[in-house]
Each structure stands twice: as C-alpha cells, then as structure tokens.
Chain A
C-alpha cells in the first residue's frame, strides 16, 4: 500500500463522500483531518498544519473559493480542489483563487491519491539547480526556496515557485505547456493546459513590474511560454 504518509485536510460537506475518501486516503498511509464546513476547515488548518488541503468548491456557508483565498493569504500550503465539471468556469476560478490542481467529481480515488502525491512531492523535492538567478527586479534562490522582488521577499506557492524555477532554468527556450505540465505537475500529454495558463498569470502578478506587459515570462502564442532574463 506504500502511502506517502502526508497529513491531509479534507473539507467536504457530503458526509458519505467525506468518510469514504477519508477512509481511502488513510488506507493509503496518510493522516486525514475531516472538516464539514470551510470554517471548521480553517480551524483544523491552524491546529494541525496539513501538508495538503483538499477542498470541495461547493460548501455551505463560506464557499470553497473563499476558503482557498483565506488559506492562500496565510501560507503556501498545496491546495487541491474538487470540482463538478472540467469544462466550467469553476476550474479556472478555483485556480485563480489559489488552488494548485483540481480533480473532477465523481472522484476516481486512484487519481486523487496520484494528485496528492504529486503535490507533496513538489513540496519536498529539491530543485534541479541551486544557482541563484537574477533578472530584472527579481532575485531567485532555488535552494532556499526564496524569491525577492526589489529586495522584498515574495510569497509564492510551491507550484508557482516550481514553475518559475523551470522557466528560469532555460532562458530563451520555448517551453510548451505539455513540458511544463509534465515537469511541474507530473501530468502526461493530456494534462489540462489551463493549470499552466492560470499559474503563469498568478506568477506574473507577483513578480512582473507590469503583469499586463510581461518582461520576463513571455507568451509564445499557441506554442507555450518563454523566459527572458
């Protein structure tokens, strides 16, 4: 059963889904804290500091999007959202709100655990290069997991950080969405490119002087992205 042994916070109001998914994830070797509402989730989060948070977007009271935003504002914990449809605005909205990845309902349990493992791996894996990279106003320290813009440290999620490292490692090279999906998210050819697109948007907002006219993270229309020092 080789579990990862991560601490997972599961926020889901449907008690059958919550219990069965909780049971499954525990069976895989994880520790699962279960919350029924977003508010409970925030409480449990501050109590236990989980490695990964799984959030159903549809919750009573505060909804999943707001929970994501709250969690984001206080840290970089990897967030996985459960969405009803893959072709709705929910996915993009959830990603914009701060999620790292998503899983569509009905949940295929094996897929869920694969996504969780990928998120945990991203958090603990060493980056390929340790060399510091400086470009424009930005200073990137991969080994320390630190990014500074104009001398001030900027808070990036692990996914965003990983993405930036991948880009900065190959300046001038065209990186297709497929390559980025594979390297950062561990997806095969059929991964959802929206994951890349939204994270690029988020990155630009955080490190580009003018996100609307990026200087470092450039779009190669229809082909992918390119990094310029």
Chain B
C-alpha cells in the first residue's frame, strides 16, 4: 500500500458540504450581481435619459430664439454631478468644460446622432466608465449630447460584488462547518459499532447494539447482535467442553492414584518387571494428573471464571518458601536489599504455581535452576528465574508462552516432563495479578525468566 493518505469519510462529507455551499452561494452571488447590475444600469439609464430628453427639449426651445448665449445655456442645464452637456449646432461643438469636448463622444455615436438617430452608449474613457446619450435636434439643425460618468454606479456594483464574494466565502465555510457537524451525527453509529466490536474482541461478550427504530440502521444492529450472540454461544460451548472433559477426568484419576498407591506400597516384593511396570504407571498417572489440573486451570481462565483470592504477601519470604518446598536440590535465592520487605497482593496458590512452573521449566529445559532473584525495579518487583541451559532463541521467546508449545528438548522426553501448558499458565496467572512475564538471555548464556509484578503498600 502506497503512502498516500486518503481523506476520511467525515472529511469528504464536510468537503462536499463546503463545495456545495460554495457553488450555491457563488452561483447565487453571481446571479444576484448580474440581476442587480442590469437592473441598476437600466434604471440609471432610464432616469438619465429622461433627464436628457427634458434638457434636449429645453435647449431646443432656447435655441429657437435668436441671440442665445449657448455656453451659458449649457451651464444652466440641470445635470447630475460630474456630467457634461455638449451641443452640436451649425458645425460647432459647444461644451461646458475643456475636458469634455467633442472627442469624449465616440465617433460612431456622434455620426449616428448627427445623422438624425437618437442613441446612447456605454463606454470607458481613461479607465472611467461613461454613459453618453445623444438626441438629434433637427428643428435647430444640431444634436444634444450628455456624458455621464458611471463611477458611482460602478462603485455601488463593486461593493455589491465584493460583499457577494465575501458572503459566498462565509457560506462556504459555514457549509463546511455544518458538514463537519452533520457528518459526525451521521457517522456516530459507525463509531458505536466499532467500539462495540473492539469491546467484543477484547473479550466482553455482553456488548450489544441498540436496535433503533431507524430503518437504515436497524438491519445492521440486528445482524451485528445476532453475530455476537452466535459467537458468544460458540465460545461458551467450547470453553464448557474443555472444562467438562477435564472434570470428567478427575474421577478416574482419583481412582487410579489411590489404587496405584496400594500397588506401589508392595513394590519391593514384586518381581523386577512388575516393579518396572508399576513405576511407569506411577510416572504417567502423575503426569496425567498434572495435565488435567493444568487443563482445568486453563479452561477456567478461558471462560473468565477465575476468581482471585488475594492476600498481602511478603514476596521475599514467599519465594524462599516456594523454592524450599520444591524438593529437587538446593537453589540459591538472591534477594535484593530493597526487596526484602516488599509486599504484593497475590493469590498464594496461583503465585506458587507460577514459581513452581518456572522452576520446573528450568529443570526440564534449562538443565536445572541456577538461581532465583528478587529485585525492586521502581514501582514494580521482579522475580527472575535463571538457568545455565541453552537459553531461548529470540524467535521463540513469544512462542514458548503459547499452549502446548514444546521446547527443543521435546524430542527427548525425560521423566516427569512438562505438560506443555506450564508457561502459558504462568503468563495467564501473572497477567491476572496485573503483571507481565518474558524471557531474556543471560550475559553468560542461559535463560532468565522474569515475572514483573506491581508493588502494594
């Protein structure tokens, strides 16, 4: 998979909202602008032209009388601010300002009007938009023009345009925000489902989704719940089976054990072969007993039915006692000065199993226990079981804690070999105590199994 980061669903929804809002508001702005512009223009022109016609009539009437002072006449004409009148009569152009002369009027329009057709035109002169209106005055042989700058109008329109753009931008942002919020509400069922799924995969099978009235979501919720029910059922049945099998094995084991003891008591009187047979029986029954115990233990842990009965335990004393009561040989126990008084909350029975299993493991696979260390490490305390055996290769260090994972010595089974569940039980029990286990390599070879536990009080 390449490194490209796709936008999430939520971002895309928000983006779509934003774009939609932008498109709509921009479209609206443009439309408004165009409509307003054409309306305003027309309106302006109409009113301007009305005025122009009125002025033209005035000028025409004034020109009928002889001896009229044309410049003064023109100045006296009523005009909007900034506009200039122009009069063409008898081949002469008259205006009120030097700036607004004949050349301010586009040639085409001039010819047209002088030729007798009234006309108006919008054009730009020196960057300023203008409107020129021309009315022929055939009665006096001339034409009347008025030139109006449209700056004010343009100004208004510019303001309108800018504010429309700003409005469009704001709307787009608002759209994005709405989209973001809305998408959260729409996507919240997705979040609910994923957290439910996470809870279930974490082992909590009592989690179910609300079956909404919402027709779109209820199908999903219903099928999810059904799936979880089926899963829970299946797992429970499996765990129950493992537990039932182990239970059933208890009774025959009791009988075997007791009967064997009776036979064992007479071993010395037996012929050699019978004695060998009894010894084999003894070993296997013992191993079988341990296996059943371990299986029962593990299936209880799997079913989540394990109850811890915790006490405050002085760990150093505990480790000493555990090592002592295991009858195989003498083991050096090294307790750190800081760890002597350390107390942990522990289920004694389980913790004893942990130690026994680790010691057994060192015996079976590590050539015997070298030493056991108890060390404080900050807010934790560690029990380390070390051997001088072949150690555990890096790639096996997680695998050995799995069920029925045998070490490399599995080929040669010694007497009283492990059950294959020892280390996985160690891990589970330690986990129940809020701790963790792992294996390391010792500096001079051999394995170091570490049990790390939280310290209490």
Residues of A within 8 A of B (CB): 1, 14, 16-17, 19-21, 23-24, 27, 84-88, 105-110, 177, 188-190, 192-194, 222-223
Contacts and interface: CB of A to CB of B under 8 A. Distances in A.
B89 interface: no
B349 A87 contact: yes
A97 B55 CA distance: 124
10 contacts: A20-B257, A21-B254, A87-B306, A106-B249, A106-B250, A106-B289, A106-B293, A107-B257, A190-B322, A192-B349
A193 B311 contact: yes
Nearest to A19: B255
A23 B306 contact: no
B309 A189 contact: no
Given A24-B259, A188-B325, A190-B321, 9 more contacts: A20-B259, A21-B254, A23-B258, A85-B300, A87-B307, A87-B349, A106-B251, A106-B253, A109-B257
Contacts of A17: 251, 254-255, 258
Contacts of A106: 249-251, 253-254, 257, 289, 292-293
B349 A107 contact: no
Contacts of A14: 251
Contacts of A27: 261-262, 265
Shortest beta-carbon contacts, A-B, top 3: A20-B258, A106-B253, A189-B321
Contacts of B251: 14, 16-17, 105-106
B264 to A, nearest CB: 9
B247 A84 contact: yes
Contacts of B127: none
A107 B258 contact: yes
A192 B306 CA distance: 17
B311 to A, nearest CB: 6
A97 to B, nearest CB: 19
B161 interface: no
B61 interface: no
A108 B289 contact: yes
Contacts of B162: none
B254 to A, nearest CB: 5
Nearest to A221: B312
Nearest to A107: B254
Nearest to A23: B262
Contacts of B292: 106
A86 B257 contact: no
A24 B261 contact: yes
A17 B317 CA distance: 38
Interface in B241-293: 247, 249-259, 261-262, 265, 289, 292-293
B265 A1 contact: yes
B126 to A, nearest CB: 99
Interface string B231-243: 0000000000000
Contact of B255 (A16, A88, A194): A16
Q: Give the one of B250, B265, B306 with max A CB within 10 A.
A: B250
Nearest to A192: B349
